[in-house]
Chain A
Amino acid sequence: MNTTLDTCLSGQYRLKQWLVNTDKSAQDDCSHYDRSHILLVNCGQIIAHIAPAAEDTPDPFTLGSGIELTSDAQSLRATITGQLYRQDGRIWVEDELKIGGDVDFSTGNINFSGNVIIGGGVADLFQVNAKGSIRIAGSVGAAEINAGGDLITSAGILGNGKGRCTAGGLLQCTHASSAALYSGQDVIARRELFGCQVFSSGAVRVEAGALMGGEAVAAGGINCRVLGSVSGSPTIVCAGQDPALAQLARERLPALEAQRQKLQQTRQSVESFLKNAKMLSPAQKEKATEILYEVAQQEAVIQKDLAALHRDWKTSQDRSRSEIRVERMLHAGVTIRFPGLQATTTTDQRGPMRIVPKGADQVALISDFGATRLLAARPFVDPLIQSLSKALNLEK
């Protein structure tokens, strides 16, 4: 609450004109998924033209937090980015977006620069994008949710093959099925992950339930009560490999390769120049100096990019943990991957156990009661990770 504004600008005002769109449903060209009665404003945005209220002004209002008068006292300006409210004779802006019920046709898609709190769920095909964290009390359907920070849902994610949730931080739910889940930190499902594509730069934890079907890749290891299913539905788990690295390779390697090719071309053109250095005219010699300078510049750019990639690789390696923990049951038909190798279980194994790579061609199932069972492993190479390590000269 901005008390200074409240005390200094405690006068009553009347509205002359809204400058924000208070009724998107009136727009014909607006998608149904984008129609919303939620008013979002940006910091510095002029919200309305106003004037001092008179005795007979209907609905006068005072100014709350997140808002100020312009220097000519004719307009209102938002001092923060957030949701605009006008209630009970007051206008204010909050930097947290609160939606009482579901995200559906009544709210439209949500795009917000701060944190979002949703009292209900998110309907199929809707989108919620927040630069901060997102908390959802209800269940998420085949929707797309993107949180810059944590994404916490108190219920389930029922992706139906189309749902996609991304969190820069922690991603947490009670259960998820047929959804793609991406997280910069841990993915925690309290009860179950079923048929999901899970990619976590932290750990994947289903401590009270089963991880079955689909694929889970986690840099920081995997921990679950049951892994795989009685029906043997194909389940792939990969521990110790950061999915962010594959993403990095996908995003950055093409540009790096293009830079290298450009450098190669520039080098070739200067080499043909320098072969006949003695025959060159003064102008050509100066041109060659120019090209040599360009080569050095391009090399510097490549070196800088490689150094950044190397740092990211190192960070990723530091947080990687090649270990899977299963508390109760590891079923047959589970493909277990670690960087460089993979093995598939052919029989059910009772936990509690840890699963770790052993040498270059075995996977060890180590029971908490002391017995160790070895699975023969075959090579597993992620082509993106391989090309990244090649680019970084990390190949043995």
Chain B
Amino acid sequence: MKILLVDDSRTMRNIQKKVLGDLGAVEFSEAGDGLEALTAIASTPEGFNLIMVDWNMPNMDGITLISRIREKDKATPLIMATTEAEKSRVMEALKAGVNNYVIKPFTPEMLLEKVKTTLEKLKAVA
């Protein structure tokens, strides 16, 4: 399983890496902003099984990244993990095409649970 972690905080990426490592054999790729993420996606023709996206990042923010990804790819599971907690923000992200939304601060269990249920739901639909 391949997961792309997009967050400008290395600490946040490390935490996600450790928590999502519990999903099994996971190969992680990392990006510090939206532009880096697009490069990582372009250079991974087999695609990712999951992309975790932060909202607030330099160069290209998460919401722009999600719109750009969804222009071509409707299938890859996308989860927004952000400090943006307002309902309007959540709605905006869902409209842009995220499959789920995790609000920081989150506990490791909360993150793992969200990711698991999202992946299981998408699997069931497919």
Contacts and interface: CB of A to CB of B under 8 A. Distances in A.
B11 A286 contact: yes
Q: Does more than half of chain A's interface fall in helix, strand or loop, or is it mixed? A: helix
Contacts of A285: 83, 104-105
A30 interface: no
A285 B11 CA distance: 13
10 contacts: A270-B105, A282-B83, A285-B104, A286-B11, A289-B104, A291-B105, A292-B105, A292-B108, A293-B107, A296-B108
Contacts, number: 44
Given A278-B85, A282-B83, A289 B56 contact: no
B106 A289 contact: yes
Interface of B: 9, 11-12, 15, 18-19, 56, 83, 85, 104-109
A288 B108 contact: no
Contact of B106 (A273, A280, A292, A295): A292
Which A-B residue pairs are the 5 nearest by beta carbons? Answer: A288-B105, A282-B83, A285-B83, A289-B105, A296-B108
A292 B11 CA distance: 13
A217 B103 CA distance: 57
A285 B107 CA distance: 12
Given A282-B83, A285-B83, A273 B56 contact: no
Contacts of A277: 85, 105
B108 A293 contact: yes
Contact of A293 (B19, B56, B85): B19
Given A282-B83, A289-B12, A293-B108, 11 more contacts: A274-B105, A278-B85, A285-B83, A286-B11, A286-B83, A286-B105, A290-B11, A290-B12, A292-B107, A293-B19, A296-B108
